[in-house]
Amino acid sequence: MKLHELTAHELSERLASGEVSAVEVAEAIFARIEEVEGQVDAFLALTRDQALEQARQVDDRRAGGEKPGALAGVPIGIKDVLCTKGVLTTCGSRILEGFRPPYDATVVRRCRDAGMPMLGKTNMDEFAMGSSTENSAYKVTRNPWDLDRVPGGSSGGSAAAVAAGEAPVALGSDTGGSIRQPAALCGISGLKPTYGRVSRYGLVAYASSLDQVGPLARDVRDCALVMNVLAGRDPHDATSADIPVPDYVAGLTGDVSGLRAGVPRELMGEGIEPEVKAVVEAAIGQLAELGMAVEEVEMPNLDYSLPVYYLVAPAEAASNLARYDGVRYGHRTEEEVADVYDLFAKSRGEGFGPEVRLRIMLGTFALSAGYYDAYYLKAQRVRTLIKQDFDAAFADHDVLISPTSPTVAFGIGEKADDPLQMKLADICTIPVNLAGIPALSIPCGMAEGLPVGLQIMGRPFEEDLILRVGDAYQQATDWHAKRPAL
């Protein structure tokens, strides 16, 4: 098996034994990128020289008798929404074209400290607003399973890079499903941690009460390895939780007997493609064979998740994106302007794409005088009811299970003119972000010749449990081992 085909834990074993060097691994991955990137378009920027230098440093440490961490020498792709010191960070937007941050995001620094060479910045929907990576201002990333289909979004570049063998692991961000949905569509594993488990410092904000950083990888064990690097309190992020972090890899015992799983009726009904539902039901049956007790649960307020999300998230986006005005930083129009308001309008109009402009307008309306109570405040109250539905379900169940995406990967351009259908792509993932709980997506079968994702949701800060369930499923099946014939 070629180096670019190995999982992160397989690379880790070979690096630790001296069978292969970190430089050889990095060079093999860059060779793969050169081979297929022209077809996939997963990256916005590559950092080859920096990655090779980081790999050399890891090799030098090992040669000197050190035993660096488990992921030392394992390369990683970084979603372009995370600040990287001196390296282009555009959030897939023209308004940040050419921007090079003066600092690293905490998660980027932790990966660097762990000895993980940074391959480059991966493509994404502009400011993480989208479910297909078609909203990037620079390029459309393609799904390695079918180059005429989307990889999902907004972390589509990270998911496609892992699926195509262009990166063993990658970082993404998840506001309404942006790690899990592309993981499902690309046939890989992806974890959205509990809100507060991983630092958001240096993550360019979309919706601050929903955003969370997490890993995309070939299998659950790799997700656990990366979480060992990412998780934990960060003094730079007031929302990061000061809660002990377990060893996620040590928790992968393979034993799920006696665990109770609930299947929310609202996430298995209308809108779920019949073939996808059949595959997910078969996966649930497999978990039952492994000793889990499975039963249907009712969570009636989940039906309101989509409208709640599209009031809360755009409102927070309108506030967060107000800083991009052509004065403090970001794109500044070169046209003649009448006054400062004209400068703002022209700079923002040129810099932001149509989806971002739409969500800013929605959010501004929801927060405006006379409408705040009717829309934003009411949405926050219903959000509390959604969280209470999860609390009630978790009182009797250890995990909840659903499809990750209601469909398999759809064609590029297929839903571009139908915003409702595009937003329905996240009906299974959005409730998780509103509740702030962790959720994992793993491949569980094929429909129409394309991957289907299974979503495993857990109580707050019980990432170790959902990773254990996902890993047990992968030990009993081989869907995670299938690769696209790219």
Distance CA 17, CA 12 (A): 9
Which residues lie closer than 8 Å to 38 by C-beta, 6 or more apart? none
Distance CA 57, CA 62 (A): 9
Active site residue 132: no
Amino acid at 271: G
Q: Are 263 and 400 in contact (CB under 8 A)?
A: yes
Residue 77, classed as helix, strand or coil, is strand
How many angstroms from the chain centroid is the CA of residue 447?
22
Active site residue 257: no
Q: Are 288 and 321 in contact (CB under 8 A)?
A: no
Say which of 12, 21, 79, 441 is annotated catalytic: 79
Say which of 155, 173, 178, 402 is annotated catalytic: 178
Distance CA 217, CA 191 (A): 9
Say which of 93, 131, 154, 347 is annotated catalytic: 154
Q: Nearest Cα to 122, choosing from 184, 182, 50, 172? A: 172
Residue 377, classed as helix, strand or coil, is helix
Active site residue 173: no
- Give the other-Cβ count within 10 Å of 299's Cβ: 21
Q: Which tokens hold the place of 54? A: 């980081």
Q: Catalytic amino acids?
A: 79, 154, 178
